[in-house]
Amino acid sequence: MKIVDFRKIFTKKRIMFIVLFGVLALIAKQINFSALVGADQQYLTLFQFFGPIAGSFLGPIFGIISVLGAELAGMLIVGKAFSFINIIRLTPMLFAAWYFGAKKIKLSAIIPAIAMLFFIAHPIGKQAWVYSLFWLIPIVIAFTKNKNLFLRSLGATFTAHSIGAVAFLYTVPMTAGQWVALIPITAMERLMFAAGITISYVVFNALFDKVKAPTNIIFLNRLSFLSKKVFGIRL
């Protein structure tokens, strides 16, 4: 039986990332960016701008776990109900982290492809089928040989969008006209999210490259102190 060396998995850099990512995620999820059309008191938050990068720093599996942990912690802190729609809203970013961090990214194309089928299978989605063409973007990018960071970010955010939109279609009443009218808004939002993911990834990489080992302890202690003061949680 092969023994797992957790020291190789949870390196100092990864531990630092988990702590920083967790604190920033808790803050970002409390800051609304745009309202979801047709849903009362439902918003996209600043978490959309950097959530998927966990998949790259931690790998797809641990990236998903990290994102899920941040999402659940955010719900607990604000006292958000664990309703069906709120639970469903946890899933898009998980798939985005998987897409962004997957080595075999072609497999990631399955998710938006399935989303397209579910969207068109719905009576309203069938009338607004043109909206589902957005999800050809992550599929095409997955099969593109020379993917740059921005394209990977674009694929990740549209993968998240495919899951969220289908869940929305099946749970929130909207007309086909409303879906079609959302096309320019969705395009602008996702371009902004992709740019944010790209910049966040570069910033995180630059930060961890410059922080040396002795600084790690001080850095982690300060983040732990901040989380205790702001959220009442000791990291």
* Secondary element (H or E) of residue 48: none
H or E stretch covering 45? strand 43-45
Confidence at 233, pLDDT banded by 50, 70, 90: very low
The pLDDT of residue 110 is: 93
- Give residue 88's pLDDT: 75
Return the pLDDT at 187.
94
Check residue 40 and give its pLDDT.
Answer: 60
Confidence of residue 214 (pLDDT cuts 50, 70, 90): very low
The residue-averaged pLDDT of 103-111 equals 85
Place of tokens 């939002």: 189
Provide the pLDDT for residue 4: 47
Instruction: In whole angstroms, give the CA distance from residue 118 to residue 233.
Output: 40
For 65, what's the count of Cα atoms within 13 Å in the CB-facing half-sphere?
Answer: 6
**Structure-model confidence comparison of residues 106 and 179, the more confident one:** 179
Q: How far apart are CA 172 and CA 165, in angstroms?
A: 10
Query: Is residue 2's pLDDT more than 90?
Result: no
- With CA atoms as reference, report the closest residue to 220 among 4, 16, 14, 6: 16
The answer on pLDDT for 235 being more than 70 is no
Q: How far apart are CA 9 and CA 90, in angstroms?
A: 25
Amino acid 39: pLDDT: 59
Task: Kindly indicate the confidence band of residue 157, based on its pLDDT and cuts at 50, 70 and 90.
Answer: very high
32-46, 144-158, 208-222: which has the minimum mean pLDDT? 208-222
135-139: average pLDDT: 96
| Per-residue pLDDT tens over the stretch 168-193 | 899 888 899 999 999 999 999 999 99
What is the C-alpha separation between 157 and 151, in angstroms, rounded?
10
Q: In the predicted model, what is the mean pLDDT of the chain?
A: 81
Query: How many CB atoms are closer than 10 A to CB 165?
Result: 23
Alpha-carbon dihedral angle through residues 75, 76, 79, 82, given to the nearest 10 degrees: 60
Q: Residues 57-63: what's their mean pLDDT?
A: 84
Whether residue 100 contacts residue 55, with contact meaning beta carbons closer than 8 Å, is answered with yes
